[in-house]
Every structure is written in structure tokens, then in C-alpha cells.
Structure 1
Amino acid sequence: MSKTYKELIKDRAQLDDAIKTALVNEKPAAIASVLELIKDFGLTAEECGFKVAAPKKKASKAVDKPDGRTAPKPAKYRNPNNPNETWTGLGAKNKKPVWVQEYLAAGGKIEDCLINPK
């Protein structure tokens, strides 16, 4: 004689509970066994089939703030008409300082503004 739908659902709930209990009870031993095998064979995460995260970038030498922000970059360009105005050369190509834009518009070359020309 076969079980009714309600009896099967009740059996499934009991089975689910038994599965959860078995997992909780057996998991620590399984982990210990795996760790022992890893140690015995000197396995790496890659050898075990795990994806290894890309190495983190090394911090630049300019990092000197406790919150990880980088220190200001040294100026690369100086305004030939006003030595107090400098620019690092960083940023979007179309975001040059006004003095650079004006100097270039007047026919000057950006190379003429280099602080340490090569």
C-alpha cells in the first residue's frame, strides 16, 4: 500500500531535518580530513580547483596617508609666464588648466612648460 501525499510530505520534512543534523555532525570531521590531505600533499588552492585572487597592487611610494590616499604628485609643468602656476599633467586630456590651454592656444608647446625636460 502506498503512502498518501500528506504522509510523504511529513516524511520529507523529517528527512530534511535528518540531513541537516548529519551535515552539522559530519562537517567538522570532513574539514579536518581535507585539511590533513592538503597538508600531507602540500596542495595549493589552485591545485584544489579554487580560483586564486589576483595579487593586490603594491602601493605606490607616494602613499603616505593613514587612510590610503596617495600624496599629491609632483608638478611636471610650470607656467613660463607665472612660475607659481604648476600642473602635474594628470587628469583628462581635455581638463588642462586654463594657463596651459591659453599657452597652447597662443602657439606654445607643452614641452616648453616641462619642469625637468629630458
Structure 2
Amino acid sequence: MPRASSAATAGTCLAIPHSDSDAIDWLPTDPPFTTARLLGARQGLLIITCPHRGRRRHRSGERSILTWAAAYDTAGPEQRSRVGHEAWLALQTTPVLRLDSATPLMDSVAAVQAALR
């Protein structure tokens, strides 16, 4: 199963505190994301790695986030969507750094590091 985002991987490379939901949901396999952790194991990891608010969001948000994500590129202003985010980005007066999961990870990390200088 493909990743929805590479933010956690970039967070690891940049040594930024984060919680990687893939590390909680999936067993480490080669290739990755082929074997889900059992519910009890996921809950245990969640308790260890996430603050209470994050655990609550993780439990209730799994189904709804997949529905939202499926419509992100085509939805209009009725929900958080690409259209809404692009409109918001166009109003920003500070630099915006665009990262794309199709870009090699280390290129994204280098772009973040350059922007932080």
C-alpha cells in the first residue's frame, strides 16, 4: 500500500519531532506497507508515541481522512481541498516552499534546509 505522505520521512531526515503513522500502522517489511500491525500492537505504539490528543484524532480520523483525501483534488470550497489551499497560498506574502512526494526525498530535504538558511 502506498504512503499518503512523505512528511514523516522528511521529518526523520531533518530531525524534527513528529509521529509517523506508517510506523504505527504497518510492520517493517520489505517491500514496505504489506503487513498491517494487529490492533492491540497499534494501540500500544500509539500510547507510547503520541500525546493523548493525537491518539484521539488517530482513532476517529482514519475512515474520514480516507474519504476526504479521495476527493481532495476534485472537491470545491465545500471541504478542505486543493482549490481552497491554492487560493489560500496565492494570498500569502511570505515565501512558500512546495514539496512533492514525487521528488526524491533527499532533494526535498535539501530544499527545506536551503529555505531554513
Whether these two folds match at TM > 0.5 is no
The TM-score normalised by the length of structure 2 is 0.20
Q: Please identify the structure whose Cα radius of gyration is greater.
A: 1
Q: Which has the higher contact order (CA 8 A, sep 6+)?
A: 2
Which structure has more strand as a fraction of its residues? 1
Q: Where is the helix percentage greater, Structure 1 or Structure 2?
A: 2
